[in-house]
Each structure stands twice: as structure tokens, then as C-alpha cells.
Chain A
């Protein structure tokens, strides 16, 4: 035994790796299904957009993506053993109803034509006016189809997956298996084949969409040959849809194949190397990339000669068909003429001249009131509709939410109300705190700005003032303030709390020679600043002399 050493040894825990990878099951597969479904319907929307160039159609693609994602994940969610009881038609109907409600809101949002309050009475009376618009109808149709398709594909993959019961049963020794525990047989090969067919048919739809989107619609009416119309360049969104559809589809087909083989290997008691699972996706991606690279180098334009040949063949076939149909019609008409021959051909009828019509005055139509509809019946019907709609919405929402674990009972509402009020209270408190902080910040900022302003004022650069242009009062104030500034520059600053008289004492202390002048200047300033008496020019001149004397002293 020692002479043969196997190069591949399976670890005990890795032997039974039949369960689908959790990441693959919950992330990659749902995303791929969603992308594939979205790409399919995006191709259809692109065609609609090419016929009716309205951006609203392309904006429906995110909605389709959302609906597909919802459908896929709901299917996954319902596949859990605890949720299987919910997997009923009623639940799905309510889910669909909610999705249609979202679609309605989304299309209103896209078109910007929200229902107007002024027309509320009209809507109450004619409720279908709320839903009978083209974007909603097409959007709803596509949403329903996308939802169904996404659900179907997700369900297929759910059924393709091996569950733990199967693994438990088939990994037991044959004699230990209890027949009562045998899992229900799932025909995974058929499921994978069905999915493959769905993908291929979807691919055909995509191909047809590409064909339709490439046609220049106005040219169709002007050409005689069916394929002679001019072609448009394909929009980037359509190209992206096609690529996504085929790439995601191939990846999913490969995953379905792996799931089928996994089941077969499990049933056959195979030991699976963990490398198989790892290399599967890697090699699949490698293969597609290699083929894509090779395909990029293959000739595309040269194939048009074949296209022309094909055109010629189709033309020839059409000509032969028309000739045969002409012959058939001719023979049939000749044959029928035997039975319906008339004795003598009718004499040619000379058309009589038409009588000259005298124009008459067009009678003014009498304003007729349309027959009044039976308002009572209409109101009754619309009321019934609204009652049903509201009841249906409430029921659908409650059913949908109940399935998700949210039970709308009185207690729930009380809790909701409590949480709402709590939330509002917290919001209010938060806002109040924020406002307080803002207020504080503003105050601080104002104070800071004020200080800065004052500082700026203090350090305001010298500005030439024409003294004679000032009033006597202003002149006196200027003399005093300039004195204060000069004293500050010399180191005797005025404190904020100091009154002019107190400051005068400081100044006199520093410049005792100018004590009298300072006294006079301060006194004049106080009268000019706070006094009501009119000041004359002579008063200002007198103060000016004092001010000059003070200036001289301050310069020393």
C-alpha cells in the first residue's frame, strides 16, 4: 500500500459538498436571474422607446430590476421551511398588488402627472382615469411579466438545489436508510432543460427586439422590398441588455447543470472533490472569455455578401410564390366565370351631370346638453370601486406585511403610534438641541465678529478726513477721538469700562504738561457727544487750538 500514494485525497468534511454554496445561492444566482430578467424586458422597452421616443420607457428598467429582485428574493424567502405555509396564491396576489401600486406611483413620478386634488371628485366618479394611462398600462404589463418570469426562474433554481434532507438521506449507508425518510424525487434534468428552453426563447425575443430596434421606422413605409429599409445604430442600452442576457443566461445554465450533476452524484454515492465546484465557475468564465476574444477577431463585415445572397433567395422565393398565387387566382377566376356569365354586357351608362348645389347657410348647431348620465348609478359604481380598491389595498398590504412578520393589529398600531410619537419626540428634542447649539454658535460667532469688528475699528488705518467738511460737533468728536488714538499708539489705551473723564485722568497722569488742554478737550467732547446745545464754529476752532497743543505734547 505504501508504494501507491494517491495524489488526490478527499478530506472528510469536503466529501459531501453537494449543497449549493451559500454565497452562490443567496447572492450570485439571485443577481444573475434578476439581471437576465431585467435584460430581457429592457430589450423590449428599448424597442418601445425606438417606436415612441419617450425617456419614460427607459426609466422603467430600474423598476423592472426592482420587481425581479423582489420576486427572486421572495421566492427564496418562501422556500424556507418556516415560510412554506405562506406560499399561497393569496399571498402572491397581494404581493403583485403591492408591486402594481408601486408601479402606479413610479409611473406618476416619471411622467410628473400626479393626480390633482382639484380633480378628486372626478377621480371618485371615474376611478379608471387613475389607471388608464399608457405608461402605467405598459409598465404594469411588463412588471407583471418580469415578476412572473423572475419567480419562475428562481423557483426552478430553488428546486434544483439539494436540500439537507436529501444529503442526510443519501449519505447514509444503504441499509441504514429508512424508506419513509426518502425525499421526494425531483427531476432536475427536466428542470434544467426547461430553464435552458426558457433562456433560449428569451434569447429569441431579445434577437427580435434587436432586429426591431435597428429598423428606421419612417423608411419602412417608403420601401418596396421588405428588408430594404434603412437601419439605425443600436442603442448602447440595448447592446448592454443583450450582453447581460446572454452572459447571465450562460452562467445560470451552467449553474443549473452543476446542480443537476450534484444531485446525480449524491444519489450515486459519489465522492466529489471540492476542486470541481471551484473550477466549475472559473472554467466557465474562462471559456466564455476565450470565445469572446476569438469572436472579436472573426470577420463580421465580410458576411454581408451572404446577407445579399440570402436577400436574393428570399426575393426569388417571393417571386415564385406570387407567380403561383397569380396562377391560382387566374384559374379560379376563369373557373368561376363559367358559372356567373351574364347574357349581354350592360350598356355603358352615361353619367348624368350632377345637379348644381346651391350653398346654403350652415345651421348653427343648437347647444344640446348631452343626455345626463344617471349620476346616482355612476356615484354608486365608483363608490363601490373605491370601496373595493381601498379594501383590496388594505387587505393586500396587511397580507403582504403579515407574511413578512408584521401583523397589523391594534397592539401593532399602538406600538407603531408609540414608536412614531417617540420618534417625533426624539426628532423634536434633537431639533431643539440642534437649534440651541446653532443659537449658541451664532451668538458666539456674532460676539467674535463684533470683537473682530471692534478690533478692526481700533486698527482702522488712517483715513484722510477733511476737517472743514465736518460739522462743529463732528469736528470736536474727531479731535477727541484722534487724541484717544494717538494716546493709544503711545501706550495709554482706553479700557472699555473707562469713561472719558476717567480716561482723562490717565492721560493727565502721563502728560501732566497738557493737563489743562486735556481737560478742555474732554469737556468739549462730552458736550458734543451728549449735549443738545447747538455748537458754533468758534467752539470748534477753540477746541482745535487745544487739540493741537495736546498733539504737540503727545508727540514728545
Chain B
């Protein structure tokens, strides 16, 4: 570019001294080309409107279409525009978005590509790198970035039509719908006054509105609540197959939660894993896979807050979102954590404990929950040849135990009630 400036200067000197109009003409054109390259290209790229259109949540196995919409608001075209979208390796489906296009004035172009939700996680989509430049190579290329956005891939949900749990458990006796204790802190609606109802339960505003006495109804305080207690203390899992079994544990937790929400029952989630998104404002992603990872700069990893039992699909999405991001970590061993983790739960809540195995200390810890008035159910994830002993032990200690080591074992959960294990 320096030589071009020199040429212009030499021509200017010649034109000025010799007063040759024609050289001025050539100089004007040269300066025009230079000015176009110097000012117009960055300006046009700066004014380029870009937008990423996609659904930011996806279920496992889904194909997610992503559209990049580019609009050139300028009155002049953009002769070439290099569009490169960065996509996590684990999401790639077909050719990534690497295109060179041209944009006419006021033209809008939509480029699309797809990603495949193959593994749960919190992924970054993008950033989108836009590169453009002049036609003569006088100035270096200019770059613009459309910042990355995020895609949450929920864990795989195995559709369970029915859980074969003992009928004495509250969610096992759904048909009875008996409300043992109504919780005034959780109103669920109103109904007509019936003889015997307490005057304190009358909803006066609703009664005035309907000109009929209406009584408040409450959600049951104890019955039908379930909490999934997911142990993700990585030292509790065997190193050789840790990655797979932890993923399986998370899938099991998600499947159970989805099933219970489907049955209109409140479900909560408590885990001793870590949520990397909650740890840092600037999320970090694995370069290889593109998944969200725990920030390396944080030695003490606080546990994510528990999700109290609620019902409804929105609540299920909240649980699934947490399960999508959660990672195993050497946090607090299960035995030390389990008692403190259940302090916030109401009496009588069913606690589905998902952990690697059921050794004696684990069973003893669960037994303490029984003694505290909860209904724990132990679900072990790792293959265990001596699981019969665990089951026998748990039966003695007052809770049920199941070993779910794969999809074949999950089939058992799909069987009608009564066939059991």
C-alpha cells in the first residue's frame, strides 16, 4: 500500500508542477479507489446486520436448524463476504457453515445449517466470523463478529410409561389422591363451600365475585412429592467407566423426573455435581467438544442450589436444563452430603437416590433418611454382581433398592405395577 501512496504523491507533484489536468483525473480515480477500500469496506461491514435464528433448547437426538440472516442496509453492494460459523464438534451435522457470498444493496440473505443434539450439554453456537475486503487488495481484510449464542441439549429421556414402585409410596398410589395435610402456603385453587369447611378457608374475594361461597384449596403438603437425589461425586464411580455411568445416572434422573411430571406429580432435584454456568459469568467451553466446562480458576466449587419439588412442564424444563449442564466433580462424598441435602424437604417425601453402588455406608446413610421420615429409594447405576446383598440389606433397613445398569434394565420400569423386580 505504501508504494501506491508513493505513486499518488509522485503523480500529485507532477500534476501540480506541470499543471496537467489529465494527471489530476487519474489521481482522483486512484484516490477514490483507495478511499473506497479505506473507508467504505469497514463501514459497510460495520453496518451489516446479522442475526442467528434457532431454538436454544433441544432434546436429545433432535436436529436443530440454525439460520444466519444477513442484511446489507447499504446502498452499495458488498462484493464478497466470507461467513464462517464456529460449531462445536459434538454438534456438527454435515458441512459446517463456511461460505463466501455477495450481497447486493438492501439484500437479505439467509444461510442455514444444522446441528445434531447427540449429547447433553450446554454448547456455544458461533461466534460467526464475517470477513470482507476491497476488490484490489489495497487494505487488509476487515472482520466482524456475531457473538456466540448457546444451545442447551437436554439429557436423553427414556419414556417410562409406568414406574413399578411399591404402592405404599405416595406417588405409587396416585389413584387415591388423598391429601393428608394441606399446605396453606401452596394454594392450588378454589371450590364451592361444603358443610364442615372452616370459615378461615373461605376465599372472600372469589365468593363476592361469584356471589357464592368459595373455599380455598391447597396442595398437599407431604404426599406425592418426590425428590431426585443425584450423586455426582466422581470418586464414588469407578474410574474405568466413569464417563459412561455418570451420563447414565443423569439420563436416569432425567427420565424419572420427566415421567413423574407426566404423572402430574411434583419433582425436585438435588445433586452434588457442579453447574459450570453458575460458577462463572464468563462460561468456558472445551475446545475439543465445544461443551461447557468448569472454569479452571475456581478451586472451591459450590454445589448448585437444590430445585424444590414442583410440578408442571416448566418445572421439568428447569430440572432438565440443570441436568443438561451438570458435571461430576470431587465435591462432597455421598455419605457426608445426603443428610444435609435433604434438610429442606418436607416430611414423607419420596427420595429417589441415584448413585453408583449401594455399599454398607451408603445404605446406612439412606437408613437415616428413613428414620427422619422420608421414603428413600436406592437406584444404583454401576453393574454390581452382588446387588442381591444390597437389596437384602436395604430391605432390612427399610427402603427399596434397584440396580439400573442399562436400557435393558430400564425396561423393567416400563412393566405394569405388580410384576416388580
Contact = CB atoms under 8 A, between A and B. Distances in A.
Interface in A379-423: none
Contacts of A317: none
Contact-residue size bin, chain B (C-beta under 8 Å from the other chain): 35 or more
Given A227-B18, A269-B98, A1 B135 contact: no
A287 B11 contact: no
Contacts of B25: 295-296, 300
B90 interface: no
A292 B29 contact: yes
B17 A207 contact: no
A319 to B, nearest CB: 17
A284 B135 CA distance: 7
Contacts of B373: none
A102 interface: no
Contacts of A301: 21
Contacts of B18: 211, 214-215, 227, 231
Interface in B27-78: 28-30, 32-33, 36, 53, 63, 65, 67, 77
A291 B108 contact: no
A304 B19 contact: yes
Nearest to A280: B79
B49 to A, nearest CB: 15
Given A207-B14, A275-B101, A201 B137 contact: no
B204 interface: no
Given A210-B20, A271-B95, A283-B79, A7 B109 contact: yes
A276 B102 contact: yes
B136 interface: yes
A287 B135 contact: yes
Given A257-B137, A260-B137, A306-B16, A291 B32 contact: yes
A8 B111 contact: yes
B16 A257 contact: no
Interface in A201-260: 201, 203-204, 207-208, 210-211, 214-215, 227, 231, 234, 239, 242, 246, 250, 253-254, 256-258, 260
Contact of B100 (A250, A254, A273, A311): A273
Interface residues of A, number: 66
A1 B114 contact: yes
Interface stretch (B1-9, B229-237, B401-409): B1-9
A5 interface: yes
A408 to B, nearest CB: 46
Contacts of A256: 137
Contacts, number: 165
A295 B137 CA distance: 22
Given A211-B18, A303-B16, A8 B110 contact: yes
Contact of B7 (A204, A211, A260, A273): A204
A271 B101 CA distance: 9
Given A1-B114, A246-B29, A275 B102 contact: yes
Contact of A295 (B3, B29, B95, B99): B29
Interface stretch (A65-73, A192-200, A502-510, A513-521): A192-200
Contacts of B11: 203-204, 207
A294 B32 contact: yes
B110 A5 contact: yes
Interface string B97-117: 011111010001111101000
B82 A280 contact: no
A7 B16 contact: no
B77 A6 contact: no
A46 to B, nearest CB: 13
Contacts of A296: 25
A110 B15 CA distance: 35
A6 B114 CA distance: 12
A288 interface: yes
A10 B10 CA distance: 46
Nearest to A257: B137
Contact of B110 (A6, A193, A239, A268): A6
Given A196-B4, A231-B19, A303-B24, A279 B79 contact: yes
A361 interface: no
A227 B19 CA distance: 11
Contact of A307 (B16, B30, B33, B82): B16
15 contacts: A3-B65, A5-B110, A210-B23, A250-B33, A257-B137, A265-B82, A268-B84, A271-B99, A273-B102, A275-B102, A279-B104, A280-B79, A287-B135, A301-B21, A303-B15
The 8 nearest A-B residue pairs measured at CB? A295-B28, A291-B32, A307-B16, A6-B112, A4-B67, A257-B137, A300-B21, A200-B3
Given A268-B98, A276-B102, 6 more contacts: A1-B65, A242-B22, A254-B135, A270-B99, A291-B28, A298-B28
